[in-house]
Chain A
Amino acid sequence: MKLCDLKPGTKGKIIRISGNKNLKRRFQTMGILPGEEIVVEKVAPLGDPIDVIVKGYHLSLRKNEADQIEVEVIK
C-alpha cells in the first residue's frame, strides 16, 4: 500500500520508492530508504501535507510525493 494511505499513528516499512530521479534522490538523502520504518504522525488540517517520523525525526511530505513510497503495515 502507499504511504499516504496509512492512517495517522500507524507504522509502516518502506518497500519501494518510485518517482523521478530528483525526488528519489531527495527521499534517500532525508533517510527514506527501502527497509526503513516510517510512521505517519499527522495530517495537516487542510488534508495535505503529512508529517512522518523517519530515522527518529519529523519530516513533512506532500501527498503526491508520499504516493511514490510503497509501504507495508507493521503491527
Chain B
Amino acid sequence: MKEIRIAVCGNPNTGKSTLINSLAGAKLQVGNWPGVTVEKKEVTFKTGDYLLHFIDLPGAYSLTPFSLEEKITRDFLFTQRPDVILCVVDSTNLERNLFFVIQLMELGIPMVVALNMYDEAQKLGYKIDIALLEELLGVKIVPTVATRGEGIEKLKEKVVEVYEKSILPKDLSYGEDIEELIRKTKSHLLTLNPQLSEEELTKGIILKVLEGDEEVLQKLGIKYDKTLLKSYLEHIEKVHGMDFEDFLTDTRYGLSAGAVKKVLSRPEIRKITFTEKIDNILLNRYLGIPLFLLIMWLLFKLAFDIANPYVDFLDETISEFVIIWAGAGLEAVGAPDWIISLITDGIIGGVGIVFTFIPVIGMIMLLITLLESSGYMARAAFLMDRVMRAFGVQGKSFIPMLMGFGCNVPSVYATRVLEQEKERKLTMFLVPFMSCGARLPVYVVFISAFFASSSGTVLFFLYTFGIAIAMAVGIVMHKLFYKGESSPFIMELPPYRFPTFRDLRIHTWMKLRHFVIKAGTWILLINIIVWGLLNLPWKPEKPEDSLLGKIGSTVAPIFKPLGYGDWASASSLLSGILAKEVVVSTMAQIYGMEEEKEIKEVNLLEDLKSIGQKFIEKTKEAISNVFSTFGIATLSAEEPEEAGGLIPILQKHFTPLSALSFMVFVLLYWPCFVYGIALKAELGTFKLYGQAILLHTLVAWVCAFLVYQIGNFLGF
C-alpha cells in the first residue's frame, strides 16, 4: 500500500489542532519533535488504496522563522519534503493567511487548502469565490468547519487527488526584477551544486538563498557564493530603494492582497464583532484587571476544589487499603520484613504519589486548554505583560506562575503556552518561588507554635517574600539569558471561540498521559531511594542511625548560622525534597511522635465497600466545593494531624526568630523532586533542575541567614 505523507500546517489560531483531532478520531499519536519540547502530533489511516500519514507541524506565520515552532515547520518542509501540504486557513482572516499559503506554494509541493471556520466568515457576510481562488493559486480548496467535522471527508479526497494527479501550485510571478534574479541565482546554484536537479531547486529554496537563511541551507547542503549574490541583490536594492527582504515581503503580501481583492466580497461597513464587544468589557481600562483576577481566582479555586477531594481519596485508598492489604498478603506468603516495607512504602507509596497528582494535573490542564482554545490566554498576556516584565518574563508567564501557588508541578506543564524557549525556561525556573500548597502545612505548624497572634501577617509576609525573590532572581536571570536584548512581544489577539468538548478531552488526556508515563517511572525510582535513606541500615533503632539521620548530622552545621544546627531539623529539611509537607511528618517521627498504628480487624469486603462509599463522599465534597466557591469560601489549610503534639516540642527547639528563618528557608529551598521530574519530562534533561536546586537552595540559605542574623542583631 502506498503511503502519502501529508504535512499539516497553518497560522496559529486557525483551528488546525481541532482539524487534526477531527481527522484523527481516536488514532492520534502524540510525541515530541526530536530534541525540543514542542508537541508533535501524527495520525495514520487507510483511505481507498492509500495510507494517509498526517504530520501536524507547529503553527507558523512565515517560513522565515521567529519562534522555535516556526523553525520546526520550516526545517520539516525544506528537509523532509512531504508528498502533500495541507494548509489550514482562517477564512475570516484571508489576507494574512494567504501570505503564508503563498510561501508554501514556492515549495512546489501538491497542496490542499482548508478554508476553516467557513461558517464564521459566512456569518460576517463574507463571500469567497472558491473556484476562482483555486484557479489563481493552482491548489485545491475545501471549505471546512473543523469543530463540526464539516468538509473533513472532502479534504481526504482532495489530498489523494492532488497526489495522484500531482497537481502543483501555480508559479506566481513575483515581478520582472525578482524573477530575473531567481533565474540568475538558479543557474549559479546549478553550477555550484551539480548534485541538484532543476526540479529540486524550487523557488522556495532559491529565495532562501537570496534571503540568506544560512541555517536551513546548511541542512540542505547547498553551496553558494555570498559575494556574487550580494552583487545581485544590490541591484534590486538600488532600483526599489529597500532591501531585498522587505521587497520580497511586500511582493508576497501584494500577491495575497491582490488575490483577496478578486475572490472576497465583504460588507462595506465593518461591523463590530462579537469578540470586540466582549473585549470592550474584558480589556476595559478599569474593569480589565479586576475581572481578570476574579476569573483566575474562580477558575483555579474551582480546579483545586474539584481535584482535592479526589487527591484525598486516592491518598487514603492507597495508604489505608492497598498498602495494608499488600502488606498482609506479603506477610501471609512469608516475605521478609524489609521486602514488605520496600514494596509497600517504597514502590506502592511511589505509585501512590503519581496517582495523587493525577486529579490536580488533569484539572489544571483542562483549564489551560480551555483558556488557550477560547482565546482568553492571549488577553491574559495582554493584561499582565506590564507586570510580568518586572520578573524578566512576559505576559503569558502569569498563568503558570499563578498556578504555582496551588502546585508547582502543573505549572511546569502550563509553561507550554510560552513560544520562546528562553522565556519558557525562565518561567519554569521562577515558579518554585511561588509558595505552593504543600508548604502551607509547615507554615501552619510553625505559625501556631510561635506567631499565633499575628498568623495572617506572617503568612502574607511569606507569600509576598517569595514573589519578591522571584522578581529579583527573574531580573538577574533575564539579564544573563538575554544579555540586554529583549525578545519582541508581538502577539495576535484571536477572536473568542468556543472550544469543543473533544478538543478539551484530547488535549487534557494527552498531557496527563505524558505526565504519568514520562514522570511516573522517575517518581517511583526516587521514592525507592528515599525509602532506602529512611530505613537503611535495616530497622534503625534510633532515627539518628538511618542514612537520612546520618546525612542530616553531617549537613547540620550548614544550618547553624540560620538558627537551627541540630540534626533533626536538617533531616526534616532533607526529607522535604520529596514534598515540602513531609518536613512536618518527618519532624514528628524524629521527635518520637509517631502515632500508634491502629490495629484493626481487616476484612476485604468491608474495605472495598468503604472505598466505594468514600468515593461517593468525595465526589459529593467536590460538588459542594464547586458551589461554595461562589459563596465565601477561602483557601484554608488543614492543620496536620501530627501538629498538635508537635507544637510544644517545636517551642523547645526553636525561638520565634529561628522559626521565621526556618519558614523562609522552607519557602525558598530545593524545589521538590516531582517538580524536577516534570522539568526533566518536558525538557529531556535534568540540567535545569540541577541549576534550580543549586540556586534556590543558595538563595534560601542567604535569605534565612539574613533574617536570622539581622533579627539577632536587632535583639529579637
A interface list, Cβ under 8 A from B: 22-31, 33, 41-49, 51, 55-62, 65
A23→B95 contact, CB < 8 A: no
Name the B residues within 8 Å of A51 (CB-CB): 279, 283, 382, 493
CA distance A62 to B384 in the complex (A): 12
Q: Any chain A CB within 8 A of the CB of B521? A: no
The list of the 6 closest CB pairs from A to B, nearest first, reads: A46-B386, A58-B493, A29-B62, A28-B249, A45-B288, A60-B491
Q: Any chain A CB within 8 A of the CB of B245? A: yes
A61→B490 contact, CB < 8 A: yes
A26→B488 contact, CB < 8 A: yes
Q: Which residue of A lies closest to B384 (CB)?
A: A46
Kindly provide the distance from the CB of A57 to the nearest chain B CB, expressed in whole angstroms: 5
A57→B488 contact, CB < 8 A: no
B61→A29 contact, CB < 8 A: yes
CA distance A2 to B279 in the complex (A): 25
Name the A residues within 8 Å of B246 (CB-CB): 24, 28
B490→A45 contact, CB < 8 A: no
New A-B pairs, 15, CB < 8 Å, besides A31-B96, A57-B93: A22-B66, A29-B64, A29-B66, A31-B95, A31-B253, A33-B250, A44-B383, A45-B383, A49-B382, A58-B493, A59-B490, A60-B382, A60-B489, A60-B491, A62-B488
CA distance A55 to B386 in the complex (A): 26
CA distance A59 to B275 in the complex (A): 13
Q: Any chain A CB within 8 A of the CB of B255? A: no
Name the B residues within 8 Å of A56 (CB-CB): 93, 95, 270
The majority secondary structure among interface residues of chain A is mixed
B253→A33 contact, CB < 8 A: yes
A47→B493 contact, CB < 8 A: no
A44→B488 contact, CB < 8 A: no
CA distance A69 to B494 in the complex (A): 22
Name the A residues within 8 Å of B490 (CB-CB): 26-27, 30, 59-61, 65
Name the B residues within 8 Å of A61 (CB-CB): 489-490
A-B contact count (CB 8 A): 100
Name the B residues within 8 Å of A41 (CB-CB): 276
Q: How many residues of B contact A (CB 8 A)?
A: 38
Name the A residues within 8 Å of B270 (CB-CB): 56
A46→B279 contact, CB < 8 A: no
Name the A residues within 8 Å of B64 (CB-CB): 25, 29
CA distance A28 to B288 in the complex (A): 30
Q: Which of B465-515 contact A (CB under 8 A)?
A: 488-494
B488→A60 contact, CB < 8 A: no
Q: Which of A24, A25, A47, A48 has the most chain B CB atoms closer than 10 A to its own CB?
A: A25
Q: Which residue of B lies closest to A63 (CB)?
A: B386
Name the B residues within 8 Å of A42 (CB-CB): 279, 283
A59→B493 contact, CB < 8 A: yes
Q: Which of B241-266 contact A (CB under 8 A)?
A: 245-246, 249-250, 253
CA distance A55 to B246 in the complex (A): 18
Name the A residues within 8 Å of B250 (CB-CB): 33
B249→A44 contact, CB < 8 A: no
Q: Any chain A CB within 8 A of the CB of B79? A: no
CA distance A47 to B285 in the complex (A): 9
Q: Which of A29, A48, A61, A65 has the most chain B CB atoms closer than 10 A to its own CB?
A: A29
Name the B residues within 8 Å of A46 (CB-CB): 289, 383, 386-387
Name the B residues within 8 Å of A31 (CB-CB): 95-96, 99, 253
B interface list, Cβ under 8 A from A: 61-62, 64, 66, 93, 95-96, 99, 245-246, 249-250, 253, 270, 275-276, 279, 283-286, 288-289, 378, 381-383, 385-387, 395, 488-494
A55→B284 contact, CB < 8 A: no
A45-B289 in contact given A29-B61, A60-B382 (Cβ < 8 Å): yes
Kindly provide the distance from the CB of B282 to the nearest chain A CB, expressed in whole angstroms: 11
Kindly provide the distance from the CB of B471 to the nearest chain A CB, expressed in whole angstroms: 16
Name the B residues within 8 Å of A43 (CB-CB): 285
Q: Which residue of A lies closest to B100 (CB)?
A: A29
A45→B284 contact, CB < 8 A: yes
CA distance A57 to B279 in the complex (A): 13
B285→A45 contact, CB < 8 A: yes
Q: Which residue of A lies closest to B287 (CB)?
A: A45
Name the A residues within 8 Å of B386 (CB-CB): 44, 46-49
Question: Could you pull out 8 A-B pairs where Cβ atoms are within 8 angstroms?
Answer: A24-B246, A26-B488, A29-B64, A31-B96, A49-B489, A51-B493, A59-B491, A60-B490
Name the A residues within 8 Å of B275 (CB-CB): 58
Kindly provide the distance from the CB of A8 to the nearest chain B CB, expressed in whole angstroms: 9
Q: Which residue of A lies closest to B70 (CB)?
A: A29
CA distance A45 to B493 in the complex (A): 16
Kindly provide the distance from the CB of B595 to the nearest chain A CB, expressed in whole angstroms: 51
A65-B488 in contact given A29-B62, A44-B283, A48-B386 (Cβ < 8 Å): yes
Kindly provide the distance from the CB of A11 to the nearest chain B CB, expressed in whole angstroms: 12
CA distance A60 to B382 in the complex (A): 7
Name the A residues within 8 Å of B492 (CB-CB): 30, 57-60
Please tell me which one of the listed residues A25, A44, A58, A59 contacts residue B66 in the complex, with CB atoms under 8 A apart. Answer: A25
Name the A residues within 8 Å of B99 (CB-CB): 29, 31
Name the A residues within 8 Å of B245 (CB-CB): 25, 28
Please tell me which one of the listed residues B61, B276, B378, B383 contacts residue A30 in the complex, with CB atoms under 8 A apart. Answer: B61
Name the A residues within 8 Å of B276 (CB-CB): 41
B489→A65 contact, CB < 8 A: yes
Name the B residues within 8 Å of A57 (CB-CB): 93, 96, 492
Kindly provide the distance from the CB of A7 to the nearest chain B CB, expressed in whole angstroms: 13
CA distance A43 to B283 in the complex (A): 9
Name the B residues within 8 Å of A44 (CB-CB): 283, 288, 382-383, 385-386
B93→A22 contact, CB < 8 A: no
A62→B385 contact, CB < 8 A: yes
A60→B286 contact, CB < 8 A: no
CA distance A48 to B385 in the complex (A): 8
Name the A residues within 8 Å of B378 (CB-CB): 60
Q: Which residue of B lies closest to A61 (CB)?
A: B490
CA distance A75 to B494 in the complex (A): 27
B382→A29 contact, CB < 8 A: no
CA distance A47 to B288 in the complex (A): 12
Q: Which residue of B lies closest to A65 (CB)?
A: B488
Name the A residues within 8 Å of B62 (CB-CB): 29
CA distance A65 to B489 in the complex (A): 8
Name the A residues within 8 Å of B288 (CB-CB): 44-45
Q: Which residue of B lies closest to A50 (CB)?
A: B382
Name the B residues within 8 Å of A25 (CB-CB): 64, 66, 245, 249
A23→B488 contact, CB < 8 A: yes
